[in-house]
Amino acid sequence: MLNRTLTVSCNVGVRFISTANTTKNVDSATITAEAKEAYYKNLGTNFGVEDNTKPAGWDEALPYKSIPGPKALPIIGNVWRFFPYVGDLHNIDVLEMHRRFYKQYGKIAKLGGIPTFPDTVFIFSPEDFEVLHRNEGAFPIRDALKAFQHYRTVVRKDIFKDVGGVTTVHGIDWYNFRSKVNPILMQPRTAQQYADSMNVIANDFLANVKRFTKSHPTGEMPEDFLNHIYRWALESIAYIALDRRLGCLDPNLRRDSEPQKIIDSAIRMFYLYYKIEVLPTLWKVYKTKTFREFIDVLDTMTFTFLKYINEATERIKKDKTPKEEHQMSVFQRLLKIDQKVAMAMAMDMLTAGVDTTGRTTGAALYFLAKNTEAQNALRKELRSLMPNKDSPVTKEVLTNASYLRAVIKETTRIAPISVGNFRQAIKDMVLCGYQIPKGTNLLTCNLVLCHSDEYFPEASQFIPERWLRSTTGEMSHKNTHPFVHLPFGFGPRSCIGKRLANLELEIVVAKMVRNFNLEWHHEDMKYVCYPLYGIASPLKLQLTELED
Ligand code: HEM
């Protein structure tokens, strides 16, 4: 059975995971060594099979060691660059570092000479992004989350045991897990199933927003409005991941409540991750103070999630009502595979689904507030699809709301969560005329290109029209290489929550614009990148409730 599946899958390449494979296929067979070997070989990956073939142009390409980049000094390498006073990269924001490298070195740069860190090669050309992604095989390696991996495989091995989820796992274990959960999470049907509940949750969020408008003389949102958006994001993803409402949108939710602690931890976690994994540190040899805080923050999240997950598991086990597959929730379907899979996937969803969706929503509302024309165009579209302010955002609305989708795309062009995508070269390749040996860590620096007029005319302007099918000429996104804008990553390792995130975003943005006029009366927004990119100034939007 599996051999047949593998033979078929080799012909369809990366689509195997999302289309040809089913939960049944994966569960019903143990992968034999021969089948595995044949599969990897046909896909050209190097898992289990050495692929030592040299790519075209290898002999003519410049050697790896001649890739330009910050020069390492004897003994201390490049670490000094991150030191206060003397270092040119001290406390540097990740995007700023990419910008500098691009300006200084061009389309490729290498940062090495950092003890306990392998070299990273930064690439700035969409043609090279494409070569890298097209050669990532069926098990792309994004070996960037070492500290998370350490947490799950060493610190909390007792909890995660042999099932670490998708985010931090690689190779066949990642593949086996992802093949099981893809058919549940990546299907358009799943997102549609949650449209009604996401409407209800968005309505609760809007009720809070209405209260804020009434409690301020000009309808300005409070300083911590972004935190209220995070609460909406947690409420939404928790409903999908755990089958229950957490109560994050309760107007009286306290700062020391459990949901707020999760949000604070999720945000802090990414910043600490930047400190221990993006900047040079010694956590691999010595458990630094920052590393210990990182573990504490992950513990807060893990133990709270575990409590919710156990409670959801018990509740679902007790419920004996017979259900067809399509009537089951995501958590029920995950549980049907196995309890460990349900636990690990729910953890990944809750960890990855708050800051990401929250910041993107905040950015979309800010851009609309600053760009009255775009806001009016969106409202015009929504008025035609949603006759009343409280009309639900149905499947039909979402299908026909092309301007809404363009607004979200333009938001992720200017303010995506991720500055680029991280991959390990799984075989030798030639990028930008240089030899890249197998095993090299590479980062595609998409955001620098997304902000460049060379790829998007008037790149600093928020112009959703560039994403509309009807737009032609130089403003159309069709003139830009499709690998420049990849906010959810690419290929089998791309964001598993993409459909759910888009559903959440489209519903809440549609409802906000259908109900309020949005204005901005402050200095331009500031952004940070530690290492997630996003808005950083207080989101003090001025909102006025619409008459109809
Ligand atoms: C606007 C919202 C979001 C953005 C922009 C985003 C972006 C990304 C990106 C860039 C990646 C890496 C992809 C790659 O390496 O090719 C990723 C991975 C991932 N995302 Fe999202 N994400 C969002 C929301 C979510 C949500 C709501 C969930 C929850 C289901 C989620 C779960 C994950 C997981 C589990 C991975 C790891 C996948 C793997 O390694 O196999 N994301 N996301």
Q: Return the CATH number at 296.
A: 1.10.630.10
Determine which residue's CA is closest to atom 37 belonging to ligand 1.
Answer: 167
Task: Give domain status of residue 518, yes or no.
Answer: yes
Residue 76: count other Cβ atoms within 10 Å of its Cβ.
Answer: 13
Task: Give domain status of residue 371, yes or no.
Answer: yes
Distance 81 CA to ligand 1 centre (A): 31
Task: Give domain status of residue 364, yes or no.
Answer: yes
Tell me: cis bond preceding 416? Omega within 30 of 0 counts.
no
Query: Which residue from 170, 99, 92, 98 is spatially nearest to 138, judged by alpha carbons?
Result: 170
Distance 357 CA to ligand 1 centre (A): 10
Query: How many whole angstroms separate alpha carbon 455 and alpha carbon 427?
Result: 29
What residues make up the domain containing 301? 184-418+487-545
Task: Give domain status of residue 51, yes or no.
Answer: no
Query: How many whole angstroms separate alpha carbon 212 and alpha carbon 87?
Result: 45
User: Can you name the residues that pair with 166 across neighbouring β-strands?
Assistant: none
- Ligand 1 atom nearest the C-alpha of 500 is 27
Q: How many domains does the chain have?
A: 1
Distance 338 CA to ligand 1 centre (A): 22
The pTM score is 0.90
Give me the phi and psi of 545, to 5 degrees please.
-70, 135
Annotated binding-site residue? 495 = yes
Q: Which two tokens stand for residue 9?
A: 């899958």
Distance 233 CA to ligand 1 centre (A): 14
Distance 482 CA to ligand 1 centre (A): 19
Task: Give domain status of residue 160, yes or no.
Answer: no
Distance 455 CA to ligand 1 centre (A): 24
pLDDT at residue 267, as a whole number? 92
Q: Is 316 in contact with 330 (CB distance < 8 Å)?
A: no
**DSSP structure class, residue 332:** H
Task: Output helix, strand, coil percentages for the chain, rounded to the nearest 5.
Answer: 55, 5, 40
Distance 302 CA to ligand 1 centre (A): 19
Q: What's the distance, Cα to Cα, between the start and end of the chain in Å?
A: 59
463 class by beta-carbon count within 10 Å (0-12 exposed, 13-18 middle, 19+ buried) = buried
Q: Is 544 in contact with 213 (CB distance < 8 Å)?
A: yes
Determine which residue's CA is closest to atom 31 belonging to ligand 1.
Answer: 497
547 class by beta-carbon count within 10 Å (0-12 exposed, 13-18 middle, 19+ buried) = exposed
Task: Give domain status of residue 313, yes or no.
Answer: yes
- Ligand 1 atom nearest the C-alpha of 348 is 35
- Ligand 1 atom nearest the C-alpha of 492 is 41
Which residue ranges in the chain fall short of pLDDT 50? 1-31, 39, 41-48
Task: Give domain status of residue 284, yes or no.
Answer: yes
Determine which residue's CA is closest to atom 17 belonging to ligand 1.
Answer: 495
DSSP assignments along 398-452, one per residue: HHH-HHHHHHHHHHHHHS-S-SSEEEE-SS-EEETTEEE-TT-EEEE-HHHHHT-
Alpha carbon separation from 75 to 72, 90, 243, 469 (Å, rounded): 9, 19, 54, 55
Determine which residue's CA is closest to atom 6 belonging to ligand 1.
Answer: 488
Q: Which of 181, 349, 495 to mutate to test the pocket of ligand 1 (most atoms within 8 A of CB)?
A: 495
Query: How many whole angstroms separate alpha carbon 152 and alpha carbon 38?
Result: 31
Q: Is 448 in contact with 124 (CB distance < 8 Å)?
A: yes
Distance 348 CA to ligand 1 centre (A): 9
155 class by beta-carbon count within 10 Å (0-12 exposed, 13-18 middle, 19+ buried) = middle
286 class by beta-carbon count within 10 Å (0-12 exposed, 13-18 middle, 19+ buried) = exposed
381 class by beta-carbon count within 10 Å (0-12 exposed, 13-18 middle, 19+ buried) = buried
- Ligand 1 atom nearest the C-alpha of 240 is 30
Task: Give domain status of residue 142, yes or no.
Answer: no
Radius of gyration of the chain (CA): 24
Q: Which residues line ligand 1 (CB under 6 A)?
A: 142, 166-167, 178, 237, 348-349, 352-353, 356-357, 360, 416-418, 421, 487-490, 493-497, 500-501
pLDDT at residue 17, as a whole number? 27
Determine which residue's CA is closest to atom 1 belonging to ligand 1.
Answer: 357
- Ligand 1 atom nearest the C-alpha of 490 is 16
Q: Which two tokens stand for residue 158?
A: 């007792």
The residue whose two tokens read 């997950």 is 309
User: Can you name the residues that pair with 421 across neighbouring β-strands?
Assistant: 444
- Ligand 1 atom nearest the C-alpha of 237 is 27
- Ligand 1 atom nearest the C-alpha of 233 is 27
Determine which residue's CA is closest to atom 43 belonging to ligand 1.
Answer: 495
Distance 262 CA to ligand 1 centre (A): 18
pLDDT at residue 48, as a whole number? 46
